Amino acid sequence: MKQSLTELFQRRFACHLFQPERAIPAADLEYILEAGRLSPSSFGLEPWKFVVVQSHDLKLALQTACFQQAQVGTASAVIVILAKLAELSPDSEYAQRLLAREYPGDQYAMALANYRNFCAATDLRAWSVTQCHIAAANMMTATTALGLDSCAIGGFLPDQVKQVLHIDSARYEVALVLPIGYCTETPHEKRRLPLADLVDYR
């Protein structure tokens, strides 16, 4: 299993042009979304929502909002990952319900107090977005496991993306745009810095 996972990491690459005529089987798309759903999140609050865009016209509109990056318009599907905002308030029904699920019984009161203190000291918008990147990474690995390709798009105009998809800015921020599908390119050799340049043991 360890070797299989390493092989997936080695094989995954950023696809810049997909085969637009090839649709992703519904079961494969659900598998990718399930990888996102099962991802870990701080306090167990699952601060993400996945908008799956398959409409040709909407994909082209999103491509415009993503600085005309062709992978958005040619992908079989584009998963727009939204970071929850209003629902993360410690006073919201959503946050309290999920905290009660994660910290049942006598644990709940202290967990809510801790979360309230955390919120007071944290940029919740930025925190929610970074949490969504955990789900994105798992979905990209799942995509590779299916023999499909992906490309994480961080370059986009958030307000324009929200306008295209009619997203309420008070409830959500755009965390990432994730095109997936069948790539037209040949994967290049993985280029990464060696661990010795990245790791400091103390």
Tell me the residue type at 152.
Answer: A
In a domain, 109, yes or no: no
Residues of the chain with pLDDT under 70: 2
In a domain, 139, yes or no: yes
State the residue range of the domain holding 184. Answer: 2-85+132-198
- Alpha carbon 103 to chain centroid distance? 25
Which CATH number fits the domain that encloses residue 65?
A: 3.40.109.10
pLDDT in the model for residue 17: 96
E strands in 25-171: 48-53, 77-84, 149-150
In a domain, 126, yes or no: no
In a domain, 181, yes or no: yes
Question: What would the pLDDT profile of 134-192 be if each residue is shown by its tens digit?
Answer: 999 999 999 999 999 999 999 999 999 999 999 999 999 999 999 999 999 888 888 99
In a domain, 14, yes or no: yes
Helix (H) or strand (E) holding 175: strand 172-181
Average pLDDT, the chain: 96
Structure tokens at 142: 């799942």
Q: Give the global pTM.
A: 0.95
pLDDT in the model for residue 189: 82
pLDDT in the model for residue 188: 80
pLDDT in the model for residue 186: 85
Return all residues near 136 (Cβ < 8 A) that are at least 6 apart: 36, 81, 152, 175, 176, 178
In a domain, 106, yes or no: no
In a domain, 97, yes or no: no
What is the count of structural domains for the chain?
A: 1
Nearest 10 degrees: Cα torsion 176, 29, 67, 73: -170
CB atoms within 10 A of CB 29: 20
pLDDT in the model for residue 1: 72
In a domain, 151, yes or no: yes
